[in-house]
Amino acid sequence: MALRKNTLIELEGNLSIQKVEALFADFKSKLIKNSSIQLDFSKVSGLDFAALQLLFSLNKTCLEKDIKIEFQNVNPKIMEWFELSDLTSLIT
């Protein structure tokens, strides 16, 4: 069995429903071979509830598969979205 590795995923732009399908495919492929995933939000300009739902689902899946997930460089504007949806527990 191959060793699982750590992966940094650099997110960028506006994470919206139009990007959710592509993000889902990317996340799914990385879940298979990683023991840790870091999501870098430094280049994210916005997100909608579809993207938040995907991130919540990703977090749940990581917990079930014993994969560590970290949300990094979340700017205040994006943090507001997490707070509005009561999902700040994903970041802390």
Give the domain extent around 61.
5-90
Domain count, the chain: 1
Beta bridge partners of 15: 47
What pLDDT was estimated at residue 92? 58
Q: For residue 67, what is the domain's CATH number?
A: 3.30.750.24
What pLDDT was estimated at residue 10? 93
Average pLDDT over the chain reads 85
What pLDDT was estimated at residue 4? 59
Pure H helices in 1-92: 17-32, 49-64, 76-84
Structure tokens of 73? 């460089």
Q: pLDDT tens for residues 25-70?
A: 988 888 877 788 899 999 999 999 899 889 988 888 888 988 888 8
Structure tokens of 32? 């298979």
CB 16 within 8 A of CB 46: yes
Question: What is the pLDDT averaged over residues 80-90?
Answer: 78
* pTM score, whole prediction: 0.81
Map residue 18 onto helix, strand or coil: helix
